[in-house]
Structures are given as C-alpha cells and as structure tokens.
Chains A and B, each alone.
Chain A
Amino acid sequence: MGISQQRIALVDCNNFYASCERLFRPDLNNKPVIVLSNNDGCVVARSAEVKALGVKMAVPVHQIMPLVKQHNITLFSSNYTLYADLSSRVMSVLKDYAPQQEIYSIDEAFLDLTGACDKDPIAYGQQIKTAVVKQVGIPVCVGMAPTKTLAKLANYAAKRWHKTGGVVDLSCPVKRKKLMQQVPVKEVWGIGSRTSKKLNDLGVGSIWDLACLNESILNAQFSVVVARTVMELNGTPCLPLEYKAPDKQQIVCSRSFKKRLVTFDELMTALTQYASRAMEKLRKQNSVTELISISIRTGLFNPNEKQYQRSMSLSLSHPTQDTQRVIKTAKSLLKQIFKKGYDYQHAGVTLGQIRPANESVQTDLFSLQIHNTDTLKSEASKRTLMESVDKINQRFPKSIAFSTASLKQEWHYESRHLSPRYTTYWGDLKRVKCV
C-alpha cells in the first residue's frame, strides 16, 4: 500500500457558535454558554463548561432549565448572520496559509499543506491556530495527516487532549497506530452509528481494528464508503479536496412553531414562507428543482398530545425556479395530507432533483411542443420576475413576500435570546467603553 507524501490539515473551530457569541461578550469567557436552534428549541452548541456539565447536543432546552438556572448558563438564539460573517473571516485567514482549501462546513476547512511545512508541521499548525484566534478571535484546533479521514482523526485528538496544544500531526505511522488503538470506531469520520454497531458486533472496537479488518469481510459485508475509509485510515488518500463547494442536491427549509397551528390556512402560510426561502436559495446557486416535498407533524415531546406525521412529494413535469409554482404544488400536497383535529408543531419544504438551470433537460416527451412555446416563454418571464424579487429582497430584506392567506404571523418561531448583528448592521455595532 502506497504511503503518500500528501499532508492535509483539518482546521476546526472550537465550539464555533458559542465562541462567536463570546467574541463580543468577553464577560462570558470561562462561563457556560449555550446556543439554541432556530426556534429556541434545542441545544445546538455548547461551550466547554456546558459540555463538562454533561449537557448533550440536541437536547430540548426545557429539559435542562433547572441546570440553566442553577449554573447561570447564558442562552443565545442562533445568530446565523453573525456566524456566517465570522466563518468567512476564519476561512479568509486560512487562505494565507494554504492556497488550496476545501470549506467543509461553517466551522471547518481542509487545507492542502503538501510540501508547505515538512520540516516542522507542528510549528506551522501552531502558527495557523495563533493567527485565527488573534485575527478573528475564534479558537481552532488543527489536525494534520496524509488523508482527510486521518486529518479528521488528528483534529479529534487535538480537541480532546489539551496537552497536544491544539495541534496534532499524524504523518508518523507509529503515532497513528497508537492513537487508533485508543479511539473507538464510532469516532471515525464517515462511519455512522449503524455501521459502527455492525462493526462492534464483528468484534471491531477500536479504529485500529477497523484499519486491520480483513479485506474479504470488508468487501462482502460493507459498502464501498467503508472500504474507502479503511484505505484512508491506512494512509492511502481516496478523497480529494473539493475546492469548490458542490451545489446543494437538496434544499430543506423547515421550522418549529412557537404555538401549535391548527387550521389549513395557518399551515399553508408557514409552508409558503418556507417555500419562498428554499426557492431563494435555489436561485442563488442558479439551479432548478423538479421534486417538491412537504412535511407536517405534531409535537414530539408531549405524550398527552395526539400524534400525526405525514410527508408527501410530487415530481413536476418540468424543472422550475418559480416560487409561485412551488407554492401551488405545496398547497395541492397539503390538501392531501392535512387532517383536522391535530395541533401541528413543525412543517417543512424540501426541494429535490436539483440541477443547474442552464442544462434543464426535457423530462416529458409529450409536453415538448408546449415547452418550446408557451411554457418555456412563461418560465423565462417568471425567471426574470423572480430575479427582480430576489434583488429587491437583498437590498431591503423581507420587503416582498408571497402569500396564500393573509394571516397574522404570530406563530412565527421564537428567537428570544438573539444577540446583535455586530458585524453586518450599522445599528448593531458593539459599544465599547471610553471610561
């Protein structure tokens, strides 16, 4: 097996959302901080102090309210405007250290450091770490290794063991083996909980066990993804860096409501809003969609509530970028799955079968005639209309909205703990004391 000379770094921000909130609130340094999901429902980020208290990810906040009070934990609603701005700053600083970069998520990036720091990779990693925290104020850890999967593992080690100083390099196979023997297989990047259970049943406990797994068992019982992961764990790169983020194959917009929704019109108003938002994202990446799905459900955590949950999809005859058409489709779907007598708590719109707008393929042979004349023309004029709407909404946020029913939107999700948009809105600038 060829051991490559490649060196990939994974730079991952520590407790990113919580760190963003702290940047403008130094009074919260070393104090417990929790960031909540969109509707203030669940925990989506925890500072180290909160992790130490045993609070898990995705826990509904009402379950931990006693703990919040007892330890004086500061709660924040998700401020994605702030997180997105700080994320782009982090990525921009990382560019100074590696020309090739794959932005993997809002708070992680792979860097290609091949040949950049062969003499002293740890020192280079420390330099990256110091630069990001100094310039942007967000602490990060750096993991380096010959493959992406091993770089992820190196980062895991850097985060977990403080004596590493937040930087780990796994180019040495001996060091790699030692680490892999200590870490359970469920921590490997790309191995889900079901696969790791299956592996456990086969006696594969540590990552090292997986790396040594018999090839015939591997090929007979596991997918190509697992086989690739094993190659990567053994130092053979199988996953190249993706420099340009691939366009989304699916766009989901879903939310929970502050109060339960009961009527068809109420749900339809919510779906209209989510469809508008999802279509905005679709047009931003210049794609078209062909598969519209909606979902609705009642509350999950209250055993006294009647439960109901449905979703439904419809394939369109030809791809579209038109919000109105998607809303119409959503309405016809809702008519089929809506049932009276339930208290709905959550709804969502999903756009599927997404592809670039300029390669729209014909999907319905028999509608081609219409395609070439009326439909195509109206699609084009709709596209212009949608473009104008997007442009206006960019300049004056939320000034144009689609509507199906005129309702007061008092059901709208809550963000009671939202921090200011410190970096993107003049009115929200942080006030500093001259005292």
Chain B
Amino acid sequence: MYTHQTPFLKKPPLLYRPQIAASSITAPLFNCRVSAGFPSPADDYIEQALDLNQLLIQKPAATFFVRAEGDSMIGAGIHSNDILVVDRSIEAVPNKVVICALNGELTVKRLVSKQGQLVLMAENPLYPDIPLHDDIDMTIWGVVTNVIHAL
C-alpha cells in the first residue's frame, strides 16, 4: 500500500500507452494424458514413430529419387515403374547397382569387375555386358540404395 501518491505517476492517458503486441508462448507437449489413477507403465518406453526416410535415406542432400523404365534390371528386383532411391555420396565400387550417364542417357546397371575389367552388367540375360573401355562415354551419376516397388 502506497503511503503517498505522486499525481504524475497516475495511470498514463491512453494515448501514450505502448501498444502491447501479441506474444507467443511455447509449452512442452507431454506424451501421456494426465490420469487421475495409476500412470501408464508404458510411459517411459514411448519412442518416435517409424520413419521411412530414416530407413531409406542416409544423406538427404545427396539423395535423389528416379523412376525405372525397362526390364534389364529385373534380376536385381528393379521392375519398370519402380522408384529408385539414389545416393550420390556413396562410392561406386564393384557390385553396386549404379545410375550412370551412358551416351547422354541416365541408365541403371550393375558395376562389376570381370577379370580385372570393369563392366556395366544388366540383371537380365537378354542384355549384353558393356565393358568400360576408354572410348566409352560414361560417368557415374549415383548409387542405387533401395527400390520402392508397388504391388
């Protein structure tokens, strides 16, 4: 309780009062409902839901999705119209399924080493191997890590 009141410190006139901006409040979100009875014994074991991105993508910045077209990789489980998860950060070493730019077209092959010779191999006997000679216009675009196949 104030004993004396200076007349000047009364409530300022409306005109001079600073405008109060709307503020935001953040509150923690609890995983469990508050129950009046016993707490759920599972509360301490709650984990995040399963996330397919986490399973399929190691490096988001380097991961691209592309769509397969054709049947040459059927033996690797790649069907026409499947979505391929491609990680460009992975080294293309023998036995990896790779996307390569072959004569200007993005193409899916398995990179293998046959008697010391690197070969682009299809996973379908109908398609011949392509040995990687110096005169072949080929660059590796990325490594296929997963196939998304709709049933």
Report Cα–Cα, A28/B67, bound state, in Å: 20
Q: Which of A29, A368, A432 has the most CB of B within 10 A?
A: A432
Residues of chain B contacted by A360 (CB below 8 angstroms): 19, 21
Residue in B62, B66, B74, B80 whose CB lies within 8 Å of A429? B66
- Evaluate contact between A135 and B69: CB separation under 8 angstroms: no
- Evaluate contact between A434 and B71: CB separation under 8 angstroms: yes
Residues of chain A contacted by B73 (CB below 8 angstroms): 434
Residue in A24, A26, A136, A362 whose CB lies within 8 Å of B139? A26
Residues of chain B contacted by A28 (CB below 8 angstroms): 104
For the complex, is B111 an interface residue (Cβ under 8 Å from A)? Answer: no
- Fill in one digit per residue for A413-435: 1 if any B CB lies within 8 Å of its CB, else 0: 00000000011000001111111
- Evaluate contact between A134 and B89: CB separation under 8 angstroms: yes
Residues of chain B contacted by A90 (CB below 8 angstroms): 61
- Evaluate contact between A89 and B80: CB separation under 8 angstroms: no
- Evaluate contact between B21 and A372: CB separation under 8 angstroms: no
- Evaluate contact between A431 and B69: CB separation under 8 angstroms: yes
Shortest distance in angstroms between A206's beta carbon and chain B's nearest beta carbon?
40
Residues of chain B contacted by A136 (CB below 8 angstroms): 61-62, 88
- Evaluate contact between B67 and A432: CB separation under 8 angstroms: yes
Report Cα–Cα, A92/B69, bound state, in Å: 30
Residues of chain A contacted by B74 (CB below 8 angstroms): 434
Residue in B23, B59, B89, B106 whose CB lies within 8 Å of A432? B106
Within 8 A of A (CB), among B30-79: 59-62, 64-74, 78
Given A135-B62, A429-B67, A432-B108, A358-B21 contact (CB < 8 Å):
yes
Interface size class, chain B: 35 or more
Given A135-B61, A429-B66, A435-B70, A26-B104 contact (CB < 8 Å):
yes
Closest to A96 in B: B61
For the complex, is A359 an interface residue (Cβ under 8 Å from B)? Answer: yes
Report Cα–Cα, A106/B68, bound state, in Å: 31
Interface size class, chain A: 20 to 34
- Evaluate contact between A434 and B108: CB separation under 8 angstroms: yes
Given A429-B67, A433-B69, A434-B78, A135-B105 contact (CB < 8 Å):
no
- Evaluate contact between B61 and A89: CB separation under 8 angstroms: yes
Report Cα–Cα, A432/B108, bound state, in Å: 7
- Evaluate contact between B15 and A435: CB separation under 8 angstroms: no
Residue in B19, B72, B105, B122 whose CB lies within 8 Å of A27? B105
- Evaluate contact between A27 and B108: CB separation under 8 angstroms: no
Report Cα–Cα, A93/B87, bound state, in Å: 13
Shortest distance in angstroms between B111's beta carbon and chain A's nearest beta carbon?
15
Report Cα–Cα, A408/B107, bound state, in Å: 43
- Fill in one digit per residue for B86-124: 1 if any A CB lies within 8 Å of its CB, else 0: 001100000000010100111110000000000000100
- Evaluate contact between A137 and B88: CB separation under 8 angstroms: yes
Residues of chain B contacted by A372 (CB below 8 angstroms): 14, 19
- Evaluate contact between A26 and B106: CB separation under 8 angstroms: yes
For the complex, is A371 an interface residue (Cβ under 8 Å from B)? Answer: yes
Report Cα–Cα, A361/B19, bound state, in Å: 8
Residues of chain B contacted by A430 (CB below 8 angstroms): 64, 66-67, 106
For the complex, is A365 an interface residue (Cβ under 8 Å from B)? Answer: yes
- Evaluate contact between B70 and A434: CB separation under 8 angstroms: yes
For the complex, is B27 an interface residue (Cβ under 8 Å from A)? Answer: no
Residues of chain A contacted by B21 (CB below 8 angstroms): 358-360
Residues of chain B contacted by A369 (CB below 8 angstroms): 14
Residues of chain B contacted by A93 (CB below 8 angstroms): 61-62
Shortest distance in angstroms between B85's beta carbon and chain A's nearest beta carbon?
11
Report Cα–Cα, A237/B65, bound state, in Å: 43
12 pairs from A and B in contact (CB 8 Å cutoff): A29-B104, A89-B62, A93-B61, A93-B62, A137-B141, A372-B14, A380-B22, A429-B65, A429-B67, A431-B69, A434-B68, A434-B71
A residues near B (Cβ < 8 Å) are: 24, 26-29, 88-90, 92-93, 134-137, 358-362, 365, 368-369, 371-372, 380, 422-423, 429-435
7 residue pairs, one from A and one from B, having the closest CB atoms? A27-B104, A434-B70, A26-B101, A135-B62, A92-B61, A434-B72, A89-B61
Q: A434-B69, A434-B80 are in contact. List 19 more A-B contacts (CB 8 A).
A: A24-B106, A26-B141, A27-B105, A89-B60, A93-B61, A134-B62, A136-B62, A137-B88, A358-B22, A360-B21, A361-B19, A380-B22, A430-B64, A431-B106, A432-B106, A432-B108, A434-B68, A435-B70, A435-B72
